[in-house]
Structure 1
Amino acid sequence: MEEYIFLLILLFLLQFSVSFATSNETDQQALLAFQNLITSPSHFLANNWTNNTYFCSWFGVTCTSKTQRFGALTLPNLQLQGTISPFLANLSFLDVLNLGNNNFHGGIPYGLGHLPCLRVIDVQNNQLEGSIPTSLFQHQKVQVISLGFNKLGGEMWKGPWCVPKLRVLNLKNNSLTGFVTATLFNISSLRVLSLGIKRLSGPLLLDERNIVSNIEFLSISNNQISGCIPSNICQLTKLKVLSRAFNNITGEIPRNIDCLSKLEQFLIGDNPIEGTIPTSLGNISTLQYIYCGNNRIVGKIPQELGKLSNLRQLNFASNYNLIGQIPEAIFNISSLEIIDFNFNSLSGRIPVTTGLHLPNLKVLELGANQINGEIPLFITNASKIEKLVLARNFLTGAIPNNLGNLQVGSNPLIGILPNSIGNLSSTVEYFEIGYAHINGLIPISIGNISGLTALYFEDNNLAGNIPSEIGLVDNELPRLIPECLEGKVLEDIGGLKAIVELHLSGNHFSGMIPSRFGELQNLQSLDLSNNSFFGQIPSSFSNLISLEFLNLSLNAFSSTISMSLEKLSSLKSINVSFNDLKGEIPSGGVFANSTLQSFLGNKGLCGVHILEIPACAITNPGQQSKLKEVVLKIVSPMVISSFLIFLLVSIWIMKRQKKGKSKDVEKALEIKTHQLITYHKIQQATNNFDESNLIGVGSFGSVYKGTLSGGKCSGNKAISKFMAYTETLGTLGYIAPEYGLEGIVSANGDVYSYGIMLMEVLTKRRPIDEEICNENLDLRKWITQSFSGTMMDVLDANLFSKEEQITSKSESCIACTMELAFDCTKEMPESRITMKDVVKRLNKIKNTFLES
C-alpha cells in the first residue's frame, strides 16, 4: 500500500514539474514575442531580455513569489516604440500591465480583457488607435483602466458595466463618441472618472434612485455635454473635484451647491451658464479652486466668498455682467494665488484698507471693468506677485513708487515711471503701461527685472533713448512698442537671446543697425519700419534662422539686398520699400513670392522675377564681349559721323551770331551791375506794404509796387528788374532768410517755404498779418512767443468741429506736424531737413494717427 502511495506522489511531482516547465516556457516565449515588436533606446531591452537569463530577472518583469509565474510587466516612461503583442494574452497570471508614457501605436489586443488575473491596465500617453476591447468593461477583477491620451475611437460603452472592483476609469483625450450613462455612477468602488474626450454629447444624468457613489474625482470637461447640472448631484457626497468646463451646459449653478461639502475644485467655466453666484458657494470651506470664467453669470459677487480661507484660485473673468464692488474680505484670503475678474462691469474702488495681506498672490487681474480711484498701496505687500492687470478702468493718480509689476494701460494716470520699478522681483514677466498718459524717460532701473518677457509702452509721452540696461535682460522680450523714442538702437541688443518679437516702428531711431542683431536666433518678427536708419542691411541678418517677418520700410538704407537672405527658410514676408536700396533683388527664398509692394520707392533696384521692376544690366562676360564687338563695328562709326556733322553746323551758326554776341555781353554786364535787394529794402520801397501800393492778391499773398532807393524808374519797373536778376519768384514772408539777405537760392529755401505754409495751415495766420508785422516778427517767432504750454494755444480754433473730441492721439499728431514745420524753418539752411525726410515724417504722422 505504501508503495502505491509513493508512486502516486512521485507521479504527481513529475507531472507538476513538467507542467511548471511548460508554463514558464509559455511565459518566456510570450515576453520574447512582445520584445520582438518593439525598439528601445540603445536597444537596452533586447540586450537585457535574453534566453541565457531567467525571465523573472528581466528588467520590468515581476514574478509571483509562490508559483514563480509571470505576474507584472511595468515598462513606463522608456521611449519604447512599436506595437503591443497579442501574445501577452497568453500570460495567464498577468495582473499588472503598465506601458504608459511611451510611443506604442496600433491597437489594444482584444485578448487582454480575458486575462483572469488582470487588475491594472495602464497604457496612457501613447499613440494607440482602434476600439477599446469591451471585455475590459465586464471584467470582475480589474481595478484600474487608464487609457487616456491616445487616439482610441468608437462609441462609448453603454453597458452593462460589470466591473465591481473598478476604482479608476481614465479615457481622457481620445476620440470616443456617444454619451455618459447613468449606470457608471452606480459602481460603488469607483473613485476617479475622467472622460474629457472632446466628442461626448447629451446631458449628464444621474440615476433618479438613491445611489451609493464614492466618486471623488469627476471630470467631463472639453466635451459637448449639454443640459443643466443635475439637481440630485448632492448624491455625490464624497466628490472633491467637479470639472465640467468647456461644454454646452446651461441653466444656473444649483442654489444648494454647498451640499458638496468636501468639494476642493469647482471648475465649470466656458459654458453658457447663467444666473447669479449662489451665496452657498461660500459655505464650502474646503474649496481651493473656483473657475467660472467665460460664462454668462450676472449680479454681484457675494460677500460669503470671503469666508473661503483655503481658496487658492478665484476666476470669474469674461462674464461681462458682474457688477458692484469686489468684497473687501476677498483681498484678505491669505492663501489666494490668483484673482481674476477681467472683462466684467465691476465698479467702485479697490479696497484701500492697510490691514489687507496677500502674501501668496501671484496674479491679480481686474482689467476691463469700471473700477475707479487710485491704485491702493496694499498691493505692494504682495511680494510674490507676477502679473497685475488693471488696464482699461478709470483709475487715476500716480503710480506708487514701490510698484512696477503691472499692466495699467488705458487709465487716466499721470506722472512718470518711478525708479523703484527696478526693485521688483525677478519673477516679473509682463509689464504693460500703454495709453496711460505717462511722460518722462524710461528708468534705467528697468534693466534689473531679469525675468521680464513682455514690455509694452505704446501711446504715452515717453521720450529719450531706450536704456541700454534693457539689453542686459537675458530673456524673451516678445514685444517692445515705445512711441516717440529716439537715438540709436541698443548696441547690446544681442544680449536678448530669447527674444521672439521686436517692434520699434514709428519712432525717431537713427544710425546704423548693430551687427549683433544676428545673434537673436529665436527672433521671429522684426519691425524697424518708419524710422531713420541708414547704411547697410547687416549681413548678420542671415543668421536669424527663426525669422518669419521682416519690415525695414520707410528708412534710408542705401546698400544692396544681401543674397544670403535667400537662405532664411522660415522667412515668410519681407518689406524694404521706400529706402535708397540699389542692385539686384534676390530671386530665391522669400523673394520668389514677393510682390512689387515690398520694393516700392527704391529707384536703384532691379530684377527679372517681378514684372514691374526694371531688368538688371547684363553682367555675363561672354555677352559683354559680344556687346563690345557690336559697339566697335556699328555704333562707333555712327557716333563719329554725328560728331563731325555737329561740329560743322556749330561753326556755321557761330559765324552768323557773331554780331549779336556783343549785344548779349552788354546785357549781361547790365544785369551784373544790379545790386542785391534785401527784405528790408523792399519793405521801405513799398512804404511798409502800404495799401496804396497794392497791385493785386495772388494764391500765396499780396503783390505790391514800389521804387527802390536811388532808382529813377517806377515801382513796377524796379521790381521787374529785381525779378529778372534773380530769375526766382518768391512771396514775402515765405522766402528763406538767406535769399532775402544774400540772394542765395537753394533747395533748402523751398523747404523753408514749405514749413511756413505748414504753420499757416495749422494756425490760420499769414506771415504778413498785421499782428505779426507790427512786432517785426516772422511766423515762426510769433508761434514760439505765443506758445504757453500746449499746442492748442496757437492752433486754428476751426481745425476741429465743436462736436469732435480732441484726443491725446490727435493732439500728438498736431504737435508732431508743428515740430516738422519748425525743423523745416531753422535759420541755418544746412540745419533744415530735406524734402525726402519731410515725406517720411508726414507718412509716419499719418500712419500713427490712422492706427488709432
Structure 2
Amino acid sequence: MSVRRLYNASLMGALALLVHLCMVDLAICSSNFTDQLALFNFKSSIKNDPNNVFSNWTKETNFCGWAGVLCSRRRQRVTGLLLGNMSLKGTISPHVGNLSFLQLLNLSYNSFYGHLTDEIGYLRCLKTLSLSGNMLEGNIPLGLHHCQRLETITFWGNKFSGRIPKELSTLPSLSLIALGQNELIGTIPPSFGNISSLEVFGLEENHIYGNVPTELAQLPNLKLIDLVFNNLTGPLPPAIFNKSSMVEIDLNYNAFSGNLPTNNGLFLPNLEILLLDHDQLTGNIPSSLSNSSKLTLLILAANLFTGPVPKHLGDLKHLEIFHLPKNQLTNEPGSIELSFLTDLSNCTSLVELLMGQNKLSGTLPNSVGNLSNSLEMLSFSENQLIGTIPKEIGSLRNLTVLSLAANNLNGNIPSTLGEIKSLQRLYLGGNNFHGSIPIEICLLSNLGDLYAEQNKLSGTIPSCIENLRGLQVIKLHHNKLTFIPSSLWNLETLRLLDLSFNSLGGSLDPNIRPSRVLEIVDLSWNQISGSIPRVIGSFQSLTSLNLSRNLFSGPIPNTMGNLITLDFLDLSHNNLSGQIPKSLEALSHIQYMNFSCNKLAGEIPNEGPFMNLTSRSFMENEALCGNPILKVPPCASNSSKKSMI
C-alpha cells in the first residue's frame, strides 16, 4: 500500500471512529491519528528491541509521551523521532513518510538494514536526518531532494552504494552532509558547489575517484572537508587553501599530486587540522604554514615532499600532533644540526613529533630536551643522523615512544634515558652505539619493547633487567654482548628474545624459570656451552627456538616433545650427542627442524614431522641411521660465520 493510499485510509478511519469527539477540528484529530498509526507501523518493523524502548508505545498512552517521540505543543504533531543508539534491529518502515510534520529523525547507531525507503522524500518539514552507524544498503533515495528544508544529512557508516545523487545539491539549506564509510562510487558532482550554506562535506572511506571540483572548493562557508581513503587524483584545488572559514582539511590516503598550494604566501588563519598524508604531493612544505597559528594536528606523512622542514614552526603554539615521516626532507643548507627542534620548543602543547624515513642529517641538538613537557612520541628513525644522543633527552619525562633506529648515531646510550619513567618503547637499533647497556635502563618500569640490535654494544645484559615487569620484546642481536644473566628468564611478560650474533658465552642456568608467554627465542651464532636445560620443555607458548651455531653439548632433552606449539627448531652446528628424542614426533605444528652438524647417534624417529624432513636436517652427525639419511656434503665450520650472515 502506498503512503498516499495509507494516508487516505487512515484519515477515513479516524473520521469513522472519532467523529463524535472531533466535531470542532476534524483535520487536527485525524492528523494526530495518522501520526499514531505511522508510529505503530514503524514499531512493527523492529525485529529486536533489547532495551524495551517501545514498552510504553501502547494505545493506552498518548504517543507524544512515547520514548523517543517529540511533539509540537499546539497541534500535538510528531516533530521528532529520536531513537539513536538504542540497539534496535529491523527495517525503516515506509510509513515513516506519513509523519508529515517531522523535523528531526535520528536512528543512528542501531542495526537498521535493508534499503532506505523512498517515502522519506515525503517529509517536507525534515531538517535533520541522521542514520549513521547502521547497515542500510542500496542507493541513496533520489526523493530526498524533495525535503527542501534539510540542513543535516548523516549517513556515515552504512553500506550505501551507487553514485552520489546530484539532486542533493538542490537542497538550499544544507549545511552538513556526511556520507563517509559507505560503498559509494563515481565522482563528486560539481553542482554541490551551488549549496552556499554547506559547511561540512564528508565522503571518507568510499570509492570516489576523479578530481575535487573547483566549485566545491569555492563554497563560501565551507569549514570541513573529509575525503580520506578514496581514489581521488589531480592537484589540490588552490581555492581550499584560500578560505578563512576552513577549520579542518582531511584529504589523506588518496593520490593527489603536485605542490601544496600557498596562494601567494597566505595560509588558513582558522585551520586547526590538516591531514594530507599518504598522497603523492611534491615540492617544499611552505613556510607560510606557520601562519595557520591555530593548527593542532598537522600530518603530511608519506608523500614526496623535499627540502628542509619549514621555518617558524614555533609560531604554531597550539600544535599537538606533527607528523612528517616517509618523505624526502633534508636539513637547512649548511646546518650541522636539526635546528628546527629549537624552534619547536616553543610549541608547548606538542604530543607527537614523527620525522622518520626522511633524509635528515646532522646531529640532535641539546635543545631536544627543551621540547614540550607533553611530548609522548619522538621519532627520527631511518634518517642520516650522526653524533651522540644528547643527555638532555632525559628531560622528556612523558615520552612513551622514542625511536632513533637506523641512523649513524654513535657513542654510549645515555644513562639519562632512565629518567624517562613513562617510556614504553625504545628503538635504538641499526646505529653505531658502543659500550655497555646502562643499568639505568632498569629504572624504566613501563618499558615493553627494547630494540638495540645491530650496534656495537658490549659487556653483559644488566642483571637488574628482571625489574622490567612489563617487558615483552628484547632485540639485541648483532652486537658484542658476552653474558646472559639468569635473571633475564624471570621476565614473566617476555614474548620475544633475540640475542643472536653476539659473543655470549657460559652456559644456561638449568633452573631458569619456565615461561608461559615466551614465543620466540633466538640465541644462535654465539658461544654458549653446556647442556640445553630440560626446563625449556615447559615453555608453554614457544613457537620458534633457534640454538644453532653454539657449543651446546650433551643430549637433546626429551622434554622438548612437550613444546606442542613449536613450528621452528634449529639445533644445528653444536656438539650435541645421544639420540634424537622420539618424543619430538608429537610436534604436530613443526614446519622446520635442523639437527645437522652435531654428534648425534642412533635411529632417527620416523613418525609425525620426521616424515617430511630431508637428509639436510641430519647431515654431519656421527652415527645416525635410518631413512632419510643420505650422503651429504660436509658442514661449514663456525669460522665461516661472516660468510653466513
The interval holding the TM-score normalised by the smaller chain is 0.7 to 0.9
Question: Do the aligned residues in 2 keep the contact of 1:215 with 1:238 (CA within 8 Å)?
Answer: yes
Work out the CA distance in 2 between the residues paired with 1:233 and 1:80. 40
Question: Do the aligned residues in 1 keep the contact of 2:393 with 2:417 (CA within 8 Å)?
Answer: no
1:664 alignment partner in structure 2: none
1:38 alignment partner in structure 2: 48
Question: Following TM superposition, by how much is the alpha carbon of 1:252 offset from its aligned partner in structure 2, in angstroms?
Answer: 1.3
Question: Do the aligned residues in 1 keep the contact of 2:290 with 2:316 (CA within 8 Å)?
Answer: yes
1:535 alignment partner in structure 2: 533
> Could you give the per-residue CA deviations for residues 490-526 of structure 1, whole angstroms, max 9, x where no partner exists?
4763532xx5433344553743576754432xx5544
Bigger share in helix? 1
Work out the CA distance in 2 between the residues paired with 1:352 and 1:361. 16
Aligned-partner residue type, residue 519 of structure 1: R
Question: Following TM superposition, by how much is the alpha carbon of 1:560 offset from its aligned partner in structure 2, in angstroms?
Answer: 2.5
Question: Following TM superposition, by how much is the alpha carbon of 1:33 offset from its aligned partner in structure 2, in angstroms?
Answer: 0.9
Pick closer, same or farther for the CA change 1:330–1:849 going to 2, 3 Å: farther
Question: Following TM superposition, by how much is the alpha carbon of 1:190 offset from its aligned partner in structure 2, in angstroms?
Answer: 1.4
Question: Do the aligned residues in 1 keep the contact of 2:462 with 2:485 (CA within 8 Å)?
Answer: no
| Equivalent runs, 1:156-195 vs 2, <5 Å | 156-159=164-167, 161-195=169-203
2:40 alignment partner in structure 1: 29
1:638 alignment partner in structure 2: none
Aligned-partner residue type, residue 492 of structure 2: G
Question: Do the aligned residues in 2 keep the contact of 1:107 with 1:131 (CA within 8 Å)?
Answer: yes
| Corresponding residue to 1:207 among 189, 196, 215 | 215
Aligned-partner residue type, residue 608 of structure 1: E
Q: What is the DSSP-based 3-state SS (H/G/I as helix, E as strand, rest coil) of the residue aligned with 1:177?
A: strand
Work out the CA distance in 2 between the residues paired with 1:244 and 1:456. 34
1:271 alignment partner in structure 2: 279
1:15 alignment partner in structure 2: 26
2:397 alignment partner in structure 1: 383
| Corresponding residue to 1:303 among 304, 311, 323 | 311
Question: Following TM superposition, by how much is the alpha carbon of 1:336 offset from its aligned partner in structure 2, in angstroms?
Answer: 2.8
Mark the structure with the bigger radius of gyration. Answer: 1
| Corresponding residue to 1:437 among 433, 441, 455 | 433
Work out the CA distance in 2 between the residues paired with 1:68 and 1:598. 85
1:107 and 2:115 correspond:
yes
2:607 alignment partner in structure 1: 608
Question: Following TM superposition, by how much is the alpha carbon of 1:464 offset from its aligned partner in structure 2, in angstroms?
Answer: 5.4
| Corresponding residue to 2:358 among 344, 347, 352 | 344
| Equivalent runs, 1:571-650 vs 2, <5 Å | 573-578=567-572, 581-586=580-585, 589-591=588-590, 594=591, 597=594, 605-609=604-608, 610-611=610-611
| Equivalent runs, 1:661-740 vs 2, <5 Å | none
Question: Following TM superposition, by how much is the alpha carbon of 1:455 offset from its aligned partner in structure 2, in angstroms?
Answer: 0.2
Pick closer, same or farther for the CA change 1:846–1:54 going to 2, 3 Å: farther
Q: What is the DSSP-based 3-state SS (H/G/I as helix, E as strand, rest coil) of the residue aligned with 1:233?
A: helix
| Unaligned ranges ≥5, structure 2 | 1-18, 615-633
Question: Do the aligned residues in 1 keep the contact of 2:100 with 2:122 (CA within 8 Å)?
Answer: no
Work out the CA distance in 2 between the residues paired with 1:242 and 1:165. 22
Pick closer, same or farther for the CA change 1:169–1:474 going to 2, 3 Å: farther
Question: Following TM superposition, by how much is the alpha carbon of 1:552 offset from its aligned partner in structure 2, in angstroms?
Answer: 5.8
Question: Do the aligned residues in 2 keep the contact of 1:222 with 1:245 (CA within 8 Å)?
Answer: yes
What count of residue pairs does the alignment treat as equivalent?
Answer: 583
Question: Do the aligned residues in 2 keep the contact of 1:131 with 1:153 (CA within 8 Å)?
Answer: yes
Question: Do the aligned residues in 2 keep the contact of 1:417 with 1:438 (CA within 8 Å)?
Answer: no
Work out the CA distance in 1 between the residues paired with 2:380 and 2:215. 41
1:761 alignment partner in structure 2: none
Pick closer, same or farther for the CA change 1:455–1:357 going to 2, 3 Å: closer
Work out the CA distance in 2 between the residues paired with 1:113 and 1:478. 58
Pick closer, same or farther for the CA change 1:23–1:82 going to 2, 3 Å: closer
Question: Do the aligned residues in 1 keep the contact of 2:319 with 2:347 (CA within 8 Å)?
Answer: yes
Question: Following TM superposition, by how much is the alpha carbon of 1:121 offset from its aligned partner in structure 2, in angstroms?
Answer: 2.3
1:315 alignment partner in structure 2: 323
1:220 and 2:227 correspond:
yes
Seq. identity, %: 27
Question: Do the aligned residues in 2 keep the contact of 1:574 with 1:598 (CA within 8 Å)?
Answer: no
> Could you give the per-residue CA deviations for residues 172-205 of structure 1, whole angstroms, max 9, x where no partner exists?
1222111112222331221111111342111112
Work out the CA distance in 1 between the residues paired with 2:55 and 2:193. 47
1:558 alignment partner in structure 2: 556
Question: Do the aligned residues in 2 keep the contact of 1:352 with 1:378 (CA within 8 Å)?
Answer: yes
Question: Following TM superposition, by how much is the alpha carbon of 1:214 offset from its aligned partner in structure 2, in angstroms?
Answer: 0.6
| Equivalent runs, 1:16-95 vs 2, <5 Å | 19=30, 22-23=33-34, 25-35=36-46, 37-40=47-50, 44-45=52-53, 55-95=63-103
Aligned-partner residue type, residue 359 of structure 1: N
Aligned-partner residue type, residue 574 of structure 1: F
Question: Do the aligned residues in 1 keep the contact of 2:413 with 2:438 (CA within 8 Å)?
Answer: no
Question: Following TM superposition, by how much is the alpha carbon of 1:219 offset from its aligned partner in structure 2, in angstroms?
Answer: 1.5
Question: Following TM superposition, by how much is the alpha carbon of 1:245 offset from its aligned partner in structure 2, in angstroms?
Answer: 1.6
Superposed CA RMSD: 3.8
Q: What is the DSSP-based 3-state SS (H/G/I as helix, E as strand, rest coil) of the residue aligned with 1:343?
A: coil
Question: Do the aligned residues in 2 keep the contact of 1:39 with 1:82 (CA within 8 Å)?
Answer: no
Question: Do the aligned residues in 1 keep the contact of 2:199 with 2:221 (CA within 8 Å)?
Answer: yes
Pick closer, same or farther for the CA change 1:83–1:502 going to 2, 3 Å: farther
Bigger share in strand? 2
Question: Do the aligned residues in 1 keep the contact of 2:255 with 2:280 (CA within 8 Å)?
Answer: yes
Question: Do the aligned residues in 2 keep the contact of 1:596 with 1:612 (CA within 8 Å)?
Answer: no
1:252 and 2:250 correspond:
no
Pick closer, same or farther for the CA change 1:461–1:150 going to 2, 3 Å: same
2:249 alignment partner in structure 1: 242
Question: Following TM superposition, by how much is the alpha carbon of 1:238 offset from its aligned partner in structure 2, in angstroms?
Answer: 0.6
Work out the CA distance in 2 between the residues paired with 1:299 and 1:264. 24
Question: Following TM superposition, by how much is the alpha carbon of 1:235 offset from its aligned partner in structure 2, in angstroms?
Answer: 5.6
Question: Do the aligned residues in 2 keep the contact of 1:147 with 1:171 (CA within 8 Å)?
Answer: yes
1:511 and 2:508 correspond:
yes
| Equivalent runs, 1:316-465 vs 2, <5 Å | 316-324=324-332, 325=335, 326-327=339-340, 328-352=342-366, 356=370, 358-376=372-390, 378-393=392-407, 410-411=408-409, 413-415=410-412, 418=415, 420-440=416-436, 442-463=437-458
Question: Do the aligned residues in 1 keep the contact of 2:203 with 2:226 (CA within 8 Å)?
Answer: yes
Question: Do the aligned residues in 1 keep the contact of 2:435 with 2:456 (CA within 8 Å)?
Answer: yes
Pick closer, same or farther for the CA change 1:381–1:491 going to 2, 3 Å: closer
> Could you give the per-residue CA deviations for residues 11-59 of structure 1, whole angstroms, max 9, x where no partner exists?
6337368626633540442242133x2253xx54465656665554444
